[in-house]
Amino acid sequence: MGANPSGPVVVLGECVADAFATARPPGVTGLDLGVMPGGGPANTAVALGRLGTRTRFLGRLSTDVFGRLFREHLAASGVDLTGCPAAAEPSTLAIADLDDEGRAHYTFHAEGTADWQWTDEELAAGLPTDGFACLHTGSLALVREPGGDRVERLLTGARQTATVSIDPNVRPLLVAPDRYRERLPGWCAAADILRLSDDDLAHLHPGASPEKAADSWHGLGVRLVVVTLGPEGVFASLDGERLRVPAAPGVTVVDTVGAGDSFMAGLLHSLHARGELGGRLDTLDAEATHEALAFGVRVSAATCAVRGADPPWADQL
């Protein structure tokens, strides 16, 4: 399989049913749950598809009611689902509790679910046979077994012909941060792009500034390190050259669910449109990186302005 800079972006990872709990009226017992399709990698695939980037999703989609919801949502957003096996195991469920600032705190139901049961054969069969520009993955798919090791092997192979992008999206309630830290050097050796949130940075490199952490990850092999800082905007380091982009002004935040995933989609969409994906980012310069970061901020801001992970379509930007 040769390099194909004009090929699709492949996104690998989990789909999660995000259930938002709301209180019932006074005197009525119980909670109501509103379920939205989510999961970090799936959110990124949806956002890419809506922006107009050719996108293939690799996810083990359950045949249960949530799995059907995922398929409908991804397909309606223009995402190619050729690489998605129909899995007998149940879907992963997350109960989201929003704080006063709209930040989500999750309780996960993820034991024995479909997302983590990848086989090498399923992964190999899911990739486009005519090549692809980029493989993006992250979140729990990288650390939940038995599939995590197999996904890592896939990254190593994909690196031979495509750009590799990783978003760790640390979930300390499900996997101890130590496990992410142990595996991070191997991910950095495979990745061209590493995107983290400020919360991820605190888990993976406690006490370190974005600059110090970026330098350590550059030393392990990553060319572009990006740290999203919420209302403080975005920090990036391209081979040690520092860049900052402010947050979008005038945004009324409904919640931040899917904000980082949508930012990642905007970044990859911009780089793909400029022909920068498909290798080791050899032609990427600071100007193109700044434009891609700024576009990612716009996409993220539009996602924050609505409830749940509902990224914008290209004509809404």
| Interval 136-177: pLDDT, tens | 999 998 999 999 999 999 999 999 999 999 999 998 988 999
Is 239 part of a structural domain of the chain? Answer: yes
Is 23 part of a structural domain of the chain? Answer: no
Task: Give the E-state strand segments of 198-282 in sequence order.
Answer: 224-228, 234-238, 241-245
Instruction: Please report, in angstroms and rounded to a whole number, the separation of the first and last CA atoms in the chain.
Output: 35
Q: 3-class SS at 176?
A: coil
DSSP 37-104: EE-HHHHHHHHHHHHT--EEEE--EESSHHHHHHHHHHHHTT-B-TT--EESSPPEEEEEEE-TTS-E
Is 311 part of a structural domain of the chain? Answer: yes
Structure tokens at 53: 């980037």
Whichever domain contains 247, its CATH number is 3.40.1190.20
Is 79 part of a structural domain of the chain? Answer: yes
Domain holding 254, by residue range, is 9-13+40-90+119-316
- What proportion of the chain, given as a percentage, has pLDDT over 90? 86
Is 277 part of a structural domain of the chain? Answer: yes
Q: What is the DSSP-derived secondary structure letter of residue 195? A: E
Structurally, the chain folds into a number of domains equal to 1
Is 225 part of a structural domain of the chain? Answer: yes
pLDDT, position 1: 47
Structure tokens at 13: 């990872």
Alpha carbon of residue 74 to chain centroid: 14
pTM of the model: 0.94
Is 159 part of a structural domain of the chain? Answer: yes
Is 24 part of a structural domain of the chain? Answer: no
Q: Does residue 249 have a cis peptide bond before it, meaning omega lies within 30 degrees of 0?
A: no
Least confident of 28-32, 54-58, 184-188: 28-32
